[in-house]
Amino acid sequence: MMGDSKVSIPLAEVIEAARDLNEYVVCFDRIFSRLATGDYSQEILADYLVDREVRQRIARLREQMFDALEASVGAEEAERIAEEAYFYEDPE
């Protein structure tokens, strides 16, 4: 992609991102394990997402990443990269 280019993100933001991502990986693993047993309602996933404000926190992480990316590669390239992502579509 860009070779050895580096992006600068403040250490406090990296620490916050690392904590959040670790929480999500561990919690999703635990929640999906419990769902797989059939002993828990699927509401545990929705409850976690709402109670821990996961959508808002992920949006903040995305903003921090794309601000740093944009500063490094420019707004147009950051937008192009964003558009390459997978986007959920309702099943037909």
Got the DSSP string for 27-58?
Answer: HHHHHHHHHHHT-S-THHHHHHHHHTTHHHHH
Tokens coding 56: 């808002």
For 3, which DSSP code?
Answer: T
Q: 3 pLDDT band (50/70/90 cuts)?
A: low
Whether residue 10 has pLDDT greater than 70: yes
> If you average pLDDT over residues 20-25, what whole number do you get?
98
Name the pTM for this structure. 0.83
